[in-house]
Amino acid sequence: MIKILKVGEVSPEEIFARELPTQSVEGVVADVIARVRAEGDKALYDYTERFDGVKLFSLEVSEEEMEEALASVEEDFKEVLAKAAENIRAFHEKQVRSSFVTTEKDGVVLGQKVSAIEKVGLYVPGGTAPLSSTVLMDAIPAKIAGCKEIVMTTPPGKDGKINPSILAAAKTAGVTRIFKIGGAQAVAALAYGTESVPAVDKIVGPGNAFVAEAKRQVYGKVSIDMIAGPSEILIVADGKSNPKYIAADLLSQAEHDKNASAVLVTDSMAFALAVQEALEVALEALPRKEIARASVEQNGKIIVAEGDLDQAIEIANEIAPEHLELSVDNPFDYLQKVRHAGSIFMGRYCPESLGDYLAGPNHTLPTGGTARFSSPLSVDDFVKKSQFIYYTKEALEKDADQVAIFARKEGLEAHARSALVRMQEE
């Protein structure tokens, strides 16, 4: 049963379960990366047989496999994919940045050139919850940014095939190539390339501890989006909310992972008790109730800040949750008070699952308190910016002496002379 606590009975640092007692996988991952770099495809085949239990004869998904998968996917799901993709595109197209040029000084042209990252890699988890939504959320912003090559890796099933819903999402989102590889070995292949898998410039997408550690180790060779931890939701709800709605929303995150954190902060003890009861009823009806119950009992909490929603918002700001729901009257009155959150869900009819699948904003979000300084995945993650500077001789004449003064203050005489030499008679 979920615990009910009053404000002050638990510190902000203990509200979410962010310090996980996991065994270090650093050494194992380093060995996997080294072997993939040394042996290429051979290592990938071996690891797939060892970890996924399937012997492959080709790593890349063929056109025939794609067509077979698409034919097996229900038409209503294809329609949902299309609608979700449309909403995601519409939202992310508003994020597109433009290059700019300034000519405010005579003889000086300054500017910024925005260009797409050429090759990106998408890691998509497999397992019991095939995340086809992640394909849309990661690939569509990359496509909008103008990335030329979008390479996806995802682990195969025991039959050597990729889940058809994942392939349907990849087709909808415009993924360029798809490989049947999972785990740290997939990250290594994307970072360094093999005979079959092209090396990319950036890797995005969630994964288990091995995938997260592999992303950390290859960072610098390639860029990454973030090191994602277990899923989190914090709900701020007043006593007028429906306890069944709130219980359902807490469980929407708890069913992800036994390490997930689902927390409610409310201004009403009576409402806290009602949610506690509704959770028990809802849990028994869940197909993944074993996972959800472990999450709720280990990490779940209801915190009562009686009569004070502003205090509840401050608790949210201290935690900086991945998902924040505001189930209150006039939620827009509270929006400006929220300083740290990955994605904010407003009102009583905006469950977090809307953001996971259909609304349009991205569901790849900062976890572990990193919403204090980082943002959801966006088109910005798939572009880079170059600066450019142009001076005429006359413009340089006005600034050369000041460049030299600055350079000499830093003890860098060659810097000074590189500006002054252009002022000398030829």
309 CB burial (10 A radius; 0-12, 13-18, 19+): buried
333 neighbors 42 (Cβ within 8 angstroms): no
Average pLDDT, the chain: 95
181 neighbors 153 (Cβ within 8 angstroms): yes
pLDDT tens digits for range 221-278: 999 999 988 999 999 999 999 999 999 999 999 999 899 999 999 999 999 999 999 9
Rounded distance between C-alpha atoms, residue 192 and residue 188, angstroms: 6
Split at pLDDT 50, 70, 90, the class of 426 is low
DSSP 76: H
Tokens of 292: 């959800």
Is the pLDDT at 21 greater than 80, yes or no?
A: no
CA gyration radius, the chain: 25
Tokens of 97: 């940045």
Average pLDDT over residues 15-32: 84
| Positions marked active-site | 322-323
Is the pLDDT at 283 greater than 90, yes or no?
A: yes
- Residue 155 confidence (pLDDT): 96
Nearest to 201 by CA among 138, 117, 142, 261: 117
Nearest to 207 by CA among 185, 192, 175, 177: 185
Is the pLDDT at 363 greater than 90, yes or no?
A: yes
Tokens of 178: 């798809």
Split at pLDDT 50, 70, 90, the class of 425 is low
Tokens of 261: 């954190």
- Bridge partners for 294 per DSSP: none
398 — phi, psi (to 5°)? Answer: -75, -25
Distance of CA 112 to the CA centre of its chain: 26
- Length of the chain in residues, anyone? 426
pLDDT tens digits for range 87-143: 999 999 999 999 999 999 999 999 999 999 999 999 999 866 788 999 999 999 999
Rounded distance between C-alpha atoms, residue 27 and residue 272, angstroms: 44
Q: To which residue do tokens 């050597």 refer?
A: 160
Rounded distance between C-alpha atoms, residue 298 and residue 70, angstroms: 40
Rounded distance between C-alpha atoms, residue 417 and residue 161, angstroms: 64
Rounded distance between C-alpha atoms, residue 150 and residue 269, angstroms: 50
Which domains does the chain possess? Answer: 26-95+117-224 (3.40.50.1980), 229-373 (3.40.50.1980), 392-423 (no CATH)
- Residue 23 confidence (pLDDT): 64
Tokens of 287: 């197909």
Residues 6+ apart with CB under 8 A from 169: 81, 132, 133, 135, 136
Rounded distance between C-alpha atoms, residue 114 and residue 153, angstroms: 27
189 neighbors 44 (Cβ within 8 angstroms): yes
Q: Calculate the alpha carbon distances from 402 to 104, 388, 389, 396, 415 in Å.
A: 19, 20, 17, 10, 12
